[in-house]
């Protein structure tokens, strides 16, 4: 799994029930070697928790874009 693939399914990852066990294993494997994606996942989860506690269910597009841009920049530099 690449960073791009990970980011493409980030939204599904947040909702744990959607992701198949096989896919989850691939993601976990990627996260073990790619700390940046791990940070993105954790940050996104936390952000969503905050939004849910305020009864807002949509992650703002802007936040999503910012996270994606940051991770892609770092991962490209590292070629992970």
For Zn ion, the binding residues (CB under 5 A) are 3, 34, 37, 75
Report the nearest approach of Zn ion to the CB of residue 41 (Å): 10
Which one, 32 or 54, has the nearer CB to Zn ion?
A: 32
Report the nearest approach of Zn ion to the CB of residue 4 (Å): 9
Which one, 3 or 10, has the nearer CB to Zn ion?
A: 3
Nearest to 68 by CA among 47, 41, 50, 48: 41
């Amino acid at each position: 799994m690449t960073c791009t693939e990970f980011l493409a399914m980030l939204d599904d990852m947040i909702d744990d029930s959607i992701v198949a066990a096989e896919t989850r294993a691939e993601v976990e494997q990627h996260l073990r070697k790619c700390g940046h994606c791990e940070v993105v996942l954790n940050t996104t989860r936390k952000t969503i928790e905050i939004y849910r506690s305020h009864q807002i269910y949509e992650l703002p597009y802007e936040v999503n874009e910012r996270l994606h841009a940051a991770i892609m920049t770092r991962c490209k530099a590292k070629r992970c």
